[in-house]
Structure 1
Amino acid sequence: MGTTWSLRFDNPLLIPLDAVRASAEAALDRVIAQMSTWESDSDLSRFNRAAAGSRHALAPEFGKVLACALQWAAASDGAIDPTIGALVALWGFGAHANASPLPPSPAELAAARSHVGWQRIAFESDTNSILQPGGVWLDLSGIAKGFAVDQVAAELQILGLGDFLVEVGGELRGVGRRPGGQPWQVQIDAAPGVATRIALSDMAVATSGDRWHLRQHEGRSWSHTLDPRCGEPPGHALTAVTVLHRQCMHADALATVLTVLGPDKGLTFAQHHGIAALFVGREGAGHRALASEAWTAQVA
């Protein structure tokens, strides 16, 4: 998945460390085998190469992640789109990373956008299947890491652990408490000089922003988050969005949605859906933070 994972846990049952590692890696391996854009033989990669008109049954986990992505795609008018793969490749991010600082040409952008559209894959929930209309590239990078966190958490609980903090690529979920009884503590570095410490008590957190994979060309800066509706990086002054949610899958997806929507529409969306979100944007030479009502209620 092009990233790392880590785990901190209390182990009063003295479960062998090899068993803990094996349990976590088994959960991660399932997600990779189904949804990785980095592995050519993953279910997702095989779908992306499939013939036009073919319908594909999905593994239960794949179907759950895709259904979540489509739920928020519909709610946000496409601010998140699981069919964004052609645009991600065009801009040279993710598994298609390249060192070119140049943005794509209008013709290249139009060609890639013709393969994007979450409605085109015709997801059928009763059969847990999707259609390959031809040339559609799925990319679940904006949600799969969060789902991987949830999967690891579920496996560790089955193993008998009840107090742990699991992280995949910067997305985290705290279950139970630290040794000594205090909640797990996480510091969010949303921007230079803007840091917030929060407690993760049976809660997940995900952050999306432009501090990672940042590129610049002729005075323009952009990051790996793309707006599927126009095919380009968002043009607003938002630096980062952090979301709290019981499930890391939803926190991950919503961080992407709100980053694309921007500070104004994003905050309105968060308020309407009761999302706990912290927005950090550039203002003059510094930064300004805005919090949704749900964030204030949970973090205060």
Structure 2
Amino acid sequence: MHHAQDASLHRLQGATMGTTWSLRLANPDYAPLAPVQALVQQTLEAVIAQMSNWEADSCLSRFNGAAADTWHALPLELAQVLDAALYWARACDGAYDPTVGALVSLWGFGPRADPHAPHSGQPPAQAAIDRALQVCGHQRLQWQPQLRRLLQPGGLQLDLSGIAKGYAVDWVAERLRAAGWQHALLEIGGEIRTWGHKPGGQPWRVAVAGVAGDEPLAVPLVDGALASSGDHWHVFMHGGRRFSHSLDPRTGQAVAHALTSVTVYHDECMHADALATVLTVLGPEDGWQFALQQQLAAVFHSHPDAGQPQGLRRMTPAWQQRFAGSMQ
């Protein structure tokens, strides 16, 4: 445990979902933190048990491996995530789609024996992409939200990696608040949620990175969430082309545009997470229009080019309205 400069600000950390988590919380009464660590880990393990396609016996993996035309009762939390995923899939006309597991695996970004092994560096053949697309598509799902029942139409592979981490942030935050922790900053693999404030009453400040060489934005975050998506986390090169891990479910191809990262603010990290994925796939123009239409608070970063040698940072009106004058 790391003690920050303020003695009542404590930090916990751990590993989960192939990444790390960290929690900074105000602890003026110096309450024991072992129960907090246990609560966080238990909650994250519950998310993995329901939503991980890296765990063979998770609820998600059992659904993915099930026979055609079988109905499956989903636990409450998985149902909530699926509801949100399908909402955004419909809202963006399929630029985000939680049923693209077959496509993700085909590109080599899905579960594999060694998650840290380098990518094969070979994009799949078009015929293989076409075959994978035939078993994808949220329209193939029959979902009964009141009963929390989902039909496996046959061969469909759910992949909630664009939203489950954000949900994990929300669920941990909800349980910590219920346990009486009123001021904290929680981060899981770059997805962030805050509530309350730092000891001394100052807002939590979160660094939002941009393109290389750009000064990060220091964003004051009060009772809200930030999530980022972009092509600089997982990429491979082939034939002189840069291939992103962000796949367009409409075409089956890796996205190829000037956008390097998007950061989205939302009250809930689950929605911020999904929306960052949506905007990344839509790209700098269509994504910008979608963000305006949905009145999203978002910041877009684009690669440097001849016209913009330093790269480009664009903030939506909703972002400027929320954070204007308070960013450093």
TM-score tier (shorter): over 0.9
User: Which of the residues 103, 120, 126 maps onto 2:146?
Assistant: 126
Match of residue 279 from structure 1: 300
- Comparing 90-99 and 263-272, the one that deviates more: 90-99
Which runs of structure 2 are paired with 1:7-86 in the superposition (5 Å)? 7-86=23-102
Deviation of residue 15 (structure 1)?
A: 2.7
Alignment of 1:210-229 (within 5 A): 210-229=231-250
1:95: how far off? 2.2
Whichever residue aligns with residue 298 of structure 1, its letter is R
TM-score by length of structure 2 reads 0.89
Report the AA paired with residue 180 of structure 2: G
2:164, 2:270 within 8 Å by CA — same for their partners in 1?
Answer: yes
Instruction: Tell me, in whole angstroms, the C-alpha distance in 1 between the residues paired with 2:301 and 2:72.
Output: 40
| Post-superposition CA distance 1:65-86 (Å, at most 9, x none) | 0000000000000011110101
1:80-159 map, 5 Å:
80-96=96-112, 99-159=119-179
Match of 1:245 in 2: 266
Amino acid at match of 2:316: S
Instruction: Report which of the two structures shows the higher radius of gyration computed on alpha carbons.
Output: 2
Listed one character per residue, the Cα deviations across residues 169-210 of structure 1 (whole Å, up to 9, x for unaligned) are 110001111111111111111221232110111010000001
After TM superposition, give the deviation of residue 126 of structure 1 in Å.
1.5
Q: Residue 4 of structure 1: SS of its match in structure 2?
A: strand
C-alpha distance in structure 1 between counterparts of 2:269 and 2:119, whole Å: 31
Q: Does 1:178 align with 2:198?
A: yes
**Pick aligned residue for 1:262 from 259, 265, 283:** 283
Alpha-carbon shift at residue 21 of structure 1 (Å): 0.5
- Give per-residue Cα distances to partners, 1:209-264, cap 9 Å, x unaligned: 01101111111112211111111111211111000001000000000000011111
Q: Aligned partner of 2:296: which letter?
A: I
Secondary structure of residue in 1 paired with 2:197: coil
Once the two structures are aligned, what percentage of the paired residues are identical?
A: 52
Greater helix percent: which structure? 1
- Aligned with residue 232 of structure 1, among 239, 253, 271: 253
Q: Aligned pair 1:188/2:201, yes or no?
A: no
Q: Does the 8 Å contact 1:85/1:137 carry over to 2? A: yes
Give TM-score, length-normalised by structure 1. 0.97
| Aligned-partner SS, 1:269 | helix
SS state at 1:79 partner: coil
* In 2, Cα distance between equivalents of 1:130 and 1:25: 28
What are structure 1's unaligned runs of at least 5 residues? Answer: none
Runs of 4+ in 1 over 3 A off after TM superposition: none
| DSSP-derived class of the 2:47 partner | helix
Amino acid at match of 1:41: D
Q: 1:133-166: CA deviations, max 9, x gaps?
A: 1111100000000000001101111111011111
- Kept in 1, the 8 Å contact 2:89–2:138? The answer is yes
Using the alignment, how far apart are the partners of 1:19 and 1:12 within structure 2? 16
Q: What RMSD over aligned residues (CA atoms) do the two structures have, in Å?
A: 1.1
RCO higher in structure (CA 8 A, sep ≥6): 1
